[in-house]
Structure 1
Amino acid sequence: MHNGVMQPPSSRPLRASRWHQPAVRGIVYQVLAVGAVGLLAWFLISNTLANLHSRNIASGFGFLQGEAGFAIGESVIAYTPQDSVARAILVGLLNTLKIAAVGIVLSTILGTLVGIARLSKNVLVAKLAAAYVELVRNVPLLLQLFFWYALVTEHLPGPRQALNPLPGVFLSNRGMKIPTPVDHIALDFALAGLFIAIALWLLVANFARRRQAATGQRLPVLRVGIAMLIGLPVLGWAIGGAPLALDVPRLQGFNFTGGATLSPEFAALLAGLVFYTTAFTAEVVRAGIQSVSTGQWEAAGSIGLPRGLALRLVVLPQALRVIVPPMTSQFLNLTKNSSLAIAIGYPDLVSVVNTTMNQSGQAIESILIIMGAYLVVSLSISLAMNAYNRRIALTER
């Protein structure tokens, strides 16, 4: 107030306080952070390129087109040392995906069984499951891989004294040899029948779920699915001519030829990863089941459901909402832990890229390939599991 006249409030304090607004400060800090990261990246990249140039080391990914020049013990696709480095790396990546896919399936099945066993009312079963979980979780994975590899390679005889538990099946320190069907068009028909059976099973399961929600009646989805998984491939094999010829392994020199081989390295790596990851997935499953209130068990029992059906139809579907997120982490851990395969000689991605790095000297590019491959695989697993998690999540109305 000046000379009895009320003065309007000044706008200067408002302008001066703009910096104190959280939104403004947040934008400024973010710009500064991005700029700092960009400067750091520029410094590292320019410094690396300068060091490579001073040592006359070529940079870039041109070495991928050169000849690999080394053999790979096992591969999902055809490969020879005359193939390119890029194909060799692809072989290593496929070997990693193979061990990861099989390991995820087996560890999920075994982990679910062990997790349920830990909650068993049978004291002996529960204690044995608990002892397994505590023992395996507290022993480093690398030591377990060494144990399994020694068990497979040192306690089995050589090829000439190979064990023959079944006709055409041989066990030795070179791996397990089994007969395989000869290459025939009937195999393509059988494989097509398998894919059709899987697609039909998914359709039947979806129809059964909708029917049960509408009428309360259950369909024998499991039995129908197993019947299709067996029947349709057999039908395709019969349509293709039903060939009975097998490529039976036979001893030739100091090793077997013919048939298919389960290598000791693959078996040891798979056993180590599965038994190790199973201990963690069992705890995830146990925690998920225990998160469901006891009232659900009592409600299922009140309508006459046995404990097994109550677990499968009432408790586990609700526990999945708690199980899936941490289970995703276990799947990612198994995939990344497969990089320890280099310790026992399994030709995974890390092993193959390490060999190419030693030959070409392209250390930075090789490390980037490994990082990029694992990043893509891990993000793919995360996206698939997150999509499934959204599907089973409770939705508000």
Structure 2
Amino acid sequence: MQNQIGAPKGFSLTDPRVRAWLFQIITIVVVVSLGWYLFHNTQTNLQHRGITSGFDFLERSAGFGIAQHLIDYTESDSYARVFVIGLLNTLLVTFIGVILATLLGFIIGVARLSPNWMISKLATVYVETFRNIPPLLQILFWYFAVFLTMPGPRGSHNLWNMFYVSNRGLNMPAALKADGMWPFLIAVVVAFVAIGVMVKWANKRFEDTGVPFHKFWAGLGLLVVIPALSVLVFGSPVHWEMPELRGFNFVGGWVMIPELLALTLALTVYTAAFIAEIVRSGIKSVSHGQTEAARSLGLRPGPTLRKVIIPQALRVIIPPLTSQYLNLAKNSSLAAGIGYPEMVSLFAGTVLNQTGQAIEVIAITMSVYLAISISISLLMNWYNKRIALIER
């Protein structure tokens, strides 16, 4: 009888590797075929209806105004510029919302673990209230029930003679570029480089001698002193334009329109409720023995939380925190409910209605949100790897 032990296997469905390759090939063929069918069917329907496809419409004049734009804009500008304005407005809400929601969420999360009964219960009420109300309802509440009911510019709430809150929004001083801007930016870069060198030296010194160095205060001093020297030598990097009440509205400065305020506050309050629970669970995941060890070394509760508990809890906090950042960025599309000119309201709404280029407009909008989400994920994954425990 011929020995078949070393003989190569032929094509057989009983071989797991053959089945794996076969199923993958079939899946690819099905997906490609389905994609081609949808593409061909769409092209055929567009031709029958006389609708031209392509992105040439981006070069045409928009012909409508925009309530808020971070770059210069006139009604004669192109749809491509409208797209950029919508993108910047979306990024503005996302950036501000992420920072404020993180700060508020950490405060509420720590407050939920407070030994003070009142503080703990108030934090619990906050979490259970705001995370169970749909974000769109919260946006509508802040917009219609809070900001639109405020007095007009003449009766606006004055804060330190610099900030004016009315039903027109929040008017604040605007920073305008001055001659010392570039030297100041260079000084800031030099300060960060100096801080990096100082931290590296301090870590090496601690490893060699065991003597700690006050890196925080030294870094803060470098960050303040070096740019301050630039201001003394080259002058101020900016000059401030103050808002002034003229007639029935404010002139000068910068204004956050009510739609932006309502959207930012609603997303901040809503997302912070979830971040608070993430922070609370992350802190609870750290063994109580770590707290007892810190107390045995004479550390007070504040330094124990900052230097012992939070650094370890971050390894549990970061992955779900990334999901909340993604949710905040995607929830910004709810601004269409109050007319804030972000991507969905401005580009997938007004531009789509005017041009009729539904496929192109929706594809661009979806691609933008996909790019924003992937960028946030990559950044948070990079940070998560930086703080991960390295086994030896």
- Same fold flag (TM > 0.5): yes
Taking the aligned partners of 2:238 and 2:312, their CA distance within structure 1 comes to 47
- Partner residue, 2:341: 347
1:210-289 alignment runs, 5 A limit: 210-212=204-206, 214-242=208-236, 246-289=240-283
Taking the aligned partners of 1:234 and 1:18, their CA distance within structure 2 comes to 76
- Partner residue, 1:356: 351
Provide, for residues 325-347 of structure 1, a one-character-per-residue CA deviation record: whole Å limited to 9, x for no partner. 11111111111111111112211
Q: Secondary structure at the match of 2:366?
A: helix
Contact 1:118 1:129 in 2 (8 A): yes
Name the larger-Rg structure: 1
Contact 1:159 1:251 in 2 (8 A): yes
- Partner residue, 1:28: 22
Provide, for residues 258-306 of structure 1, a one-character-per-residue CA deviation record: whole Å limited to 9, x for no partner. 1111221111111111111111111111111111111111111111111
Q: Secondary structure at the match of 1:261?
A: strand
Q: CA deviation at 1:351?
A: 1.5
- Partner residue, 2:95: 101
Distance 1:114 1:131, change over 3 A: same
Distance 1:136 1:395, change over 3 A: same
For the pair 1:83 / 2:77, whether they are aligned, the reply is: yes
The letter for the 1-side match of 2:115 is K
Equivalent position to 1:379, from 370, 374, 377: 374
Distance 1:201 1:156, change over 3 A: farther
- Partner residue, 1:154: 148
For the pair 1:317 / 2:311, whether they are aligned, the reply is: yes
Q: CA deviation at 1:101?
A: 1.1
For the pair 1:164 / 2:122, whether they are aligned, the reply is: no
Distance 1:163 1:318, change over 3 A: closer
- Partner residue, 1:185: 179
Query: TM (normalized to structure 2)?
Result: 0.92
- Partner residue, 1:39: 33
Provide, for residues 29-53 of structure 1, a one-character-per-residue CA deviation record: whole Å limited to 9, x for no partner. 0100111011111111111111111
The letter for the 2-side match of 1:324 is I
Q: Give the length in aligned residue pairs.
A: 390
Query: TM (normalized to structure 1)?
Result: 0.90
Taking the aligned partners of 2:321 and 2:94, their CA distance within structure 1 comes to 14
- Partner residue, 1:395: 390
Q: Secondary structure at the match of 1:73?
A: coil
Contact 1:158 1:172 in 2 (8 A): yes
- Partner residue, 2:364: 369
Distance 1:19 1:243, change over 3 A: closer
Taking the aligned partners of 1:57 and 1:122, their CA distance within structure 2 comes to 66
Equivalent position to 2:108, from 114, 121, 139: 114
The letter for the 2-side match of 1:73 is A
Provide, for residues 42-90 of structure 1, a one-character-per-residue CA deviation record: whole Å limited to 9, x for no partner. 1111111111111111101111111122221112222222221111101
The letter for the 2-side match of 1:81 is E
Unaligned runs of 5+ in 2: none
Q: Secondary structure at the match of 1:18?
A: coil
Contact 1:197 1:228 in 2 (8 A): yes
Q: Secondary structure at the match of 1:105?
A: helix
Contact 2:243 2:251 in 1 (8 A): yes
Q: CA deviation at 1:207?
A: 4.6
Q: CA deviation at 1:386?
A: 0.9
Distance 1:123 1:246, change over 3 A: same
Q: CA deviation at 1:357?
A: 0.7
Q: Secondary structure at the match of 1:20?
A: coil
Q: CA deviation at 1:165?
A: 2.9
For the pair 1:48 / 2:42, whether they are aligned, the reply is: yes
Distance 1:73 1:226, change over 3 A: farther
Q: Secondary structure at the match of 2:12?
A: helix
Taking the aligned partners of 1:78 and 1:181, their CA distance within structure 2 comes to 16
Q: CA deviation at 1:98?
A: 1.2
For the pair 1:144 / 2:138, whether they are aligned, the reply is: yes
The letter for the 2-side match of 1:130 is T
Q: Which moved more, 1:182-191 or 1:114-123?
A: 182-191
Q: CA deviation at 1:242?
A: 4.2
What RMSD, in angstroms, separates the aligned Cα atoms of the two structures? 2.4
Percent of aligned pairs with the same amino acid: 46
Distance 1:193 1:343, change over 3 A: farther
Taking the aligned partners of 2:237 and 2:280, their CA distance within structure 1 comes to 47
Taking the aligned partners of 2:367 and 2:87, their CA distance within structure 1 comes to 11
Distance 1:287 1:179, change over 3 A: same
